[in-house]
Structure 1
């Protein structure tokens, strides 16, 4: 009970930071150099103070602080959905669990030891060797290379050591021909305490009002059916989806897919006190995690919210999924793919069955 109360308090405080724009900014991100276009890619400008944004010129992009938003989170941008610049569709947080004490680290909520501001600092690198925090206004460029005839863009993100002793980093890889997704691979440094899990959680499902999970054999899980009477302003308990329940492709990979249940999310009617950043704009989209090589203990996990984070504002249409993640016992080099696709869940699932998931604009 004490742990649940503590988590609720921490999420509430972090929500206030988000709602009121608490960041470590000293410079307006709009005054930083915009990303450079390099063929199909965008990458941070070099030799100048630059916006830390990487990804597709015509597809999904990611960014980190000092861009707008809370610290300790990867921002996910989807301009192909008709979103304005700096509109975040979802975030990914780092949440490693140490093996000795089973304490879950929270990259967004823990205090930085570098500057005593809430949110662990992330920094970028072109290589897996980046032990110290560089100048946050001069991000890595990212490396474009050719892998088996296919162009890729790779960048590494590092994080301060967590309070539980976890010292982790990730590799992000974008692959030509897959403009709506990226691969994220987790690692630990030699200095890290041993981990039981390294959870990469998509933390803002309420922005898109994700309510339907798509499972094997045409089954679904609806948020409203999982928590039919929940009207509190906190997070629900987690719901777990086993490996056996998830959609599989012919190579043994598994898909954990979520979407809104509204025909047009832009037509929602909001409570008067709903903050502008929660109001969905642009095209409807499907979000998913994909694990190409799942272990037997892999699970899909979600929780829900009835009100928007750190507020009493009810979510239009009722409770929806908030955190959306895959989890399994940790081994270094675990890879997952996260995507936000303009295609419907039915089109994606049909593509999985035909070994031809739609990816073209």
Structure 2
């Protein structure tokens, strides 16, 4: 079997699941697979991830994702599956699995359920109940890190759990000299990213820094921007926190090359690509230890610095340490780049190929 269908709740909105799906789909298509990417719902603000896709795109329903999923949606998915024929069906979230699982024909379809979040986040939401109820009946349940896969296997429990990381979309030849005075925060300006904590940590670190010229650049847009601007003013760093807005993917290499540190302050993460991308440019990270995915990217004291979740003074201390030591930034950044090699696209595509072979047995 050489046909793969990736199904997303919405395949075209700006987001990590969507970006990873299009990256893997293009990579597999370039390896000779017939690949389809389907959004079960249409995006209100579509983003183009691949300029010249070698795969086929589908939008199942023109309704937005918050619209009730009914018989018309099920019929449209059934028609899509019939038109594609026998294939691996990769369902990228619990919401997709619940919509599609009962429509798969075991004689024609091999079902793979992905979960892009962490175990800890799932446990505190409806995701854990959904994964426990539906993923065990699939041919494979795929998680982002060995730690998350083990915990789902033991506590869901799932007999079919494995781990497969998200890939980096590219591998740069140049690295950052990390001798500038710029910290990056990258992501949608939404509550879950907790950029307010990163701003507070930056303000604390800057007060004790010998060099007051450091800036925090926030790359992304979203509903929290106004509140974050007010928070930066309250913390006394309004002139040193630069809101850059949305930067296209083609512009991100330049941002990493100008950065000396990346900060991650999220409430929860699966496997945050920003850490891996920064590492590929030799830029170390100071991050909250919120998931097995984060720990698979950041080896404490070896490739970056980890602090307990929500520990703003701890994050400030980590930032201050990196701001004050260019040699340590270079040491950690070089080690981070070596470690990130395992997340290169070609290596992750090899693992997808091995996964398909495994479920076909």
Indicate the TM-score class for this superposition, using the shorter chain for normalisation: under 0.3
Higher helix share: 2
**What is the TM-score with the length of structure 2 in the denominator?**
0.26
**What is the TM-score with the length of structure 1 in the denominator?**
0.26
Higher strand share: 1
Q: Which has the larger radius of gyration?
A: 2
